[in-house]
Amino acid sequence: MKKRPPGTARQREGADATPLLEGISQPGDLLRLSRDDLRRLAAEIRGFLVRAVCRGGGHLGPNLGVVELTMAVHRVFRSPHDRIIFDTGHQSYVHKILTGRRDWFGSLRQYGGMSGYPSRAESDHDLVENSHASSALAWSEGLARGFALDGDDRAVVAVVGDGALTGGMAWEALNNLARSPADLVVVLNDNGRSYAPTVGGLAAHLAALRTTDGGRPNVFTNLGLAYLGPVDGHDLEAVERALHHARALRRTVVVHCVTGKGQGFGPAETDEADHLHTVGVVDPETGRPAQPPDPTWTDVFADEMLAAGELDPDLVAVSAAMVGPTGLGAFARRFPHRVVDVGIAEQQATTSAAGLAAAGKHPVVAIYATFLNRAFDQVLMDVALHESPVTFVLDRAGITGPDGPSHHGVWDLAVLGTVPGLRIAAPRDQATLREELRDAIADRRGPNALRFPKARVGSPVPALHRLSGVDILRAPAGAKVLIVSVGVLATAALEAATLLSAAGIECTVLDPRWVRPVNPVLGQLAAGHSLVVTIEDGVRDGGVGSAVARLLTDLAVPTPVRVLGLPTAFLPHGGRQELLAEYGLDAAGVAEAVQAALAGARQSRRLSHLPHTPQVPQAVNHA
C-alpha cells in the first residue's frame, strides 16, 4: 500500500517506466505474468534501475543483483501480510518498484524525496529501516517468534547478504534460531562480495558450498537449521521452487541463492573495486562520473595514511569491510600485510585493534562514524580502560547526506565524549587533518579519534596563531563574541563573522582542534568576551558546546554560551549543505543565531553588566 508520495512533482517526473513495468503497481500484479513476460520484466527493471540510479546516485550493484530474487520473494509470499525484512536495506529498490513506488525514483535520496532504504513512512511493505548491517535475522527471529506466540501463521522472510552474514549480530541470531519456535525463510543473497570480496572463514565456506550440491553437512545444518541450495539467484523459477519448498518445511530454512553483484549492467559487472556498490551521478553508459570528482576528506586521509605507513613500520590499518570506501585502498596495495579487513564486524575491529596495540603495533581503525556506534562497549572497555593507543578515524562524521537517518554520524562527539582518556580531533582542513592524524598515531598514552565529513575537502583555513593548542582564526580588536567552531564548520564560522562584522558585530573565531576533552584555555578566552557561540556538526545534547558550557560553569566564567548543533532526532536524507542550512549551521544561520543571542541577552540586560576585556588574554598568548 502506498503512503505519501515523496518529492516534488518535478522530482517525480524523473522516473520513466517501460511497458510491462507500467502494469506493476503491487506485488500481486506479478502473478498475472507469463514466464516470458517475467523474464522481460526483469530486463525492464534492470534498465529502469540503471537509468534512475545513474541520474541521481544510489546503490546500483546490489540492486541489479537481486532483481529475480526479489520478484520470486514477492510471487511466493504475500507482503505485507507476510513480512519481508531486508538486511541493511540498500538492496530494497526492486522491492520498492514492485510495491508501488516506481514513480518516486526521480526523487531517490533527495531532500523530501524517496529514501534509499526501506521506510515505514513510505509503505506498509516496509518494517525495518535501520540500514546498519547484520540485524535482519534478529529482527526476523523476534517477529516470527511473536507471530508464533499469537498462533499467527504469517511467514517471515529475511533477505541477507553474504557480507551482512559476517557480522556478529547475524551469528548471535543463527545461534538463537536453532532453538527458536520461529520458522523463518532466510534468503541468503550470496554474491561473494561486501564492497570488495567478502573475507574470512565463512566466505570460504560459502564459496565451497556454491560448487557442491549443498546436501552434505554445512555450517547451517550443523547449527540445526535446514539448508536449500545453492540456487541460481537469477533463475526466477528455481528461486521460486526453493522458496515454496522452504515455506513447506515449516522450520527455519536457509535458501542459498548465488547472484552476481551488478548483474546485467556491463560497467557494474566489470568494476573491480565494488561492482558499482554505490554511485553518485554517473553516465548510464559507462557508470562513471562525467568529470573526476574533487578531492574529499577521505582522499586526504588516504594520502596521509600512506605517508605514515612509509615512516612507521608498526602502523596497521583495520577496516570493517570498507577498505576502499574509508580510503585504505592505497595503503592496502602498498602494505598488504598491514591491513586487516575483519568483515562487517566493528566490535571485532575495535577489540582486535586493542590487541594489536598490546602487541606493540600502532593500529588505525578506519570506520564510518555511524558504524562505530556498534562498538561503543569495545571502545570503552577494551580500548579506553586499557589506555590502548588506538587511533579511530571516523569518516562520514556529521551530516552525511543522501543515506539519511541511519548514516548521519551525529552521535560521535557526544557519545565518545563520555569515554575516559579518549581525545577527539576535528580537523578543519587538509593540513590539520594531516597534522592531527600524525599526532594521534604518535600518541602512546591512550586512544585518539579524528572525525571528518563526507565532503570535498575545500580550501585551506589558515590560523592567525596557535594559543595553547587552540587555533585562532580571526581576532578583530574589540570583539565581544567568541565563536568556537568544530572542525569543518570553521568556514561557516568565518563567513558568519564576516557577515556580522558588516552589521557592526565583531567576533573572534577559534578552532580548538582537539575538541574533547575541552581545552581549559577556552575558559580564559571566553572570559574575555561577552558571548560564546559554539558550532558543531553533531547533536547538541552532550556535544562539544555543552562541554564548553560546563567548563565555563566549573571555572565560574559568567559569559553566556549559545550552543549551535543538531537536534537529538533522526534527521532526514538530503544534500549535506542543504541539511546544514536547514539546521542553521551555515554562515547565515550562525550569523542569525549570534544576532538573536545578542538581542536576547541585551533584552535580559545580562550583557550590559559584563565587563569587556581583550579577546586573547596576554598571559596565555605565546604564539
- Which among 31-39, 67-75, 191-199, 237-245 is the span making contact with ligand TPP, rule CB under 6 A? 191-199
Residue 164 assigned ligand-binding role:
yes
> Which one of 96, 101, 145, 261 is the catalytic residue?
261
Binding mask 124-143 for ligand DXP (x = CB under 6 A): -------x------------
Look up residue 211 and give its DSSP letter. Answer: T
Residue of 68, 129, 346, 436 marked catalytic: 346
Does the annotation list 503 as a binding residue?
no
CA–CA separation, 439 vs 239, rounded Å? 54
Alpha carbons 198 and 341: distance in angstroms, whole number: 9
Residue 197 DSSP symbol = B
User: 351 contacts which partner out of Mg ion, ligand DXP, ligand TPP, none, CB within 5 to 8 A by kind?
Assistant: none
374 is known as an active-site residue: yes
Distance, CA of 305 to CA of 311 (rounded, Å): 10
DSSP string, 491-547: HHHHHHHHHHHHTT--EEEEE-SEEESPPTHHHHHHHTSSEEEEEEEEESTTSHHHH
Q: Which of 432, 497, 465 is nearest to 618 (CA)?
A: 465
Chain centroid, CA 491 distance in Å: 24
- Nearer to ligand DXP by Cβ, of 403 and 536: the residue is 403
Alpha-carbon span 221 to 239, nearest angstrom: 20
233 binds Mg ion (CB under 5 A): no
Interface with Mg ion (CB under 5 A), residue from 163, 327, 528, 543: 163
Select from ligand DXP, ligand TPP, Mg ion, none the partner in contact with residue 321, using the beta carbon and a kind-dependent cut-off of 5 to 8 Å: ligand TPP
The pattern of x and - marking residues 244 through 263 that bind ligand TPP according to CB under 6 A reads: -----------------x--
**Shortest approach of ligand TPP to residue 372 CB, angstroms?**
10
Compute φ and ψ for 268, nearest 5 degrees. Answer: -80, -40
Footprint of ligand TPP on 364-423 (CB under 6 A): 371, 374
Backbone angles phi, psi at 412, to 5 degrees: -55, -45
Q: Residue 275, interface with ligand DXP (CB under 6 A)? A: no
The one among 95, 193, 256, 396 contacting ligand DXP by CB under 6 A: 396
Per-residue CA distances from 191 to 129, 162, 240, 436, 582 (Å): 22, 7, 18, 39, 39
Number of residues that bind ligand TPP (CB under 6 A): 26
Q: Which among 148-156, 188-196, 233-241, 611-619 is the span making contact with ligand TPP, rule CB under 6 A?
A: 188-196
Scored b (16 or more CB within 10 A) or e, 207-216 reads eebeeeebee
Q: In whole angstroms, what is the distance from residue 593 CA to residue 583 CA?
A: 11
Instruction: Report yes or no: 220 and 211 within 8 Å, Cβ to Cβ.
Output: no
Query: Which of 128, 136, 164, 372 is the binder for ligand TPP (CB under 6 A)?
Result: 164
CB contact set of 509 (below 8 Å; sequence gap of 6+): 472, 473, 474, 483, 485, 490, 493, 494, 497
| 322 forms part of the interface with ligand TPP (CB under 6 A) | yes
SS3 397: strand
162 is an interface residue for Mg ion by CB under 5 A: yes
Q: Are 603 and 573 in contact (CB under 8 A)?
A: no
Residue 523 assigned ligand-binding role:
no
Measured between alpha carbons, how far is residue 133 from residues 200, 262, 454, 572 in Å?
Answer: 17, 19, 20, 19
Interacting residue with ligand TPP among 79, 119, 194, 508 (CB under 6 A):
194
CB 242 within 8 A of CB 229: yes
Closest residue to ligand DXP in the complex (CB): 90
- Per CB under 6 A, the list member of 229, 325, 543, 589 interacting with ligand DXP is 325
The CB-of-45 to ligand TPP minimum distance in angstroms stands at 16
**Residue 578 among the catalytic residues:** no
Query: Could you tell which of ligand DXP, ligand TPP, Mg ion, none binds residue 374, using a CB distance below 5 to 8 A set by kind?
Result: ligand TPP
Q: Is 278 in the site for ligand DXP (CB under 6 A)?
A: yes
115 binds ligand DXP (CB under 6 A): no
133 binds ligand TPP (CB under 6 A): yes
Q: Which of 7, 57, 161, 363 binds ligand TPP (CB under 6 A)?
A: 161
The binder of ligand DXP chosen from 11, 63, 70, 88 (CB under 6 A): 88
90 binds ligand DXP (CB under 6 A): yes
Angle made by CA atoms 462, 468, 473, in degrees to the nearest 5? 25
Question: What is the smallest separation between the CB atom of 402 and ligand DXP, expressed in angstroms?
Answer: 8
191 is in an annotated binding site: yes
Residue 409 interacting with ligand DXP (CB under 6 A): no
C-alpha cell at 494: 568565518
* Alpha-carbon span 1 to 497, nearest angstrom: 50
Reported as half-sphere exposure (CB side, CA atoms, 13 A), residue 342 has a value of: 20
Catalytic, 436? Answer: no
Choose the stretch contacting Mg ion; rule: CB under 5 A; options: 99-107, 127-135, 191-199, 285-293. Answer: 191-199
C-alpha grid cell, residue 318: 583495520
User: Which residues of this protein are in contact with Mg ion, per CB under 5 A?
Assistant: 161-163, 191, 193
Q: Residues comprising the binding site for thiamine diphosphate? A: 90, 131-133, 163-164, 191, 265, 346
Q: Residues comprising the binding site? A: 90, 131-133, 162-164, 191, 265, 346
User: Which residues of this protein are in contact with ligand TPP, per CB under 6 A?
Assistant: 62, 65, 88, 90-91, 131-133, 161-164, 189, 191, 193-195, 261, 277, 320-322, 344, 346, 371, 374
Q: Residues comprising the binding site for Mg(2+)? A: 162, 191
Please list the active-site residues. 261, 346, 374
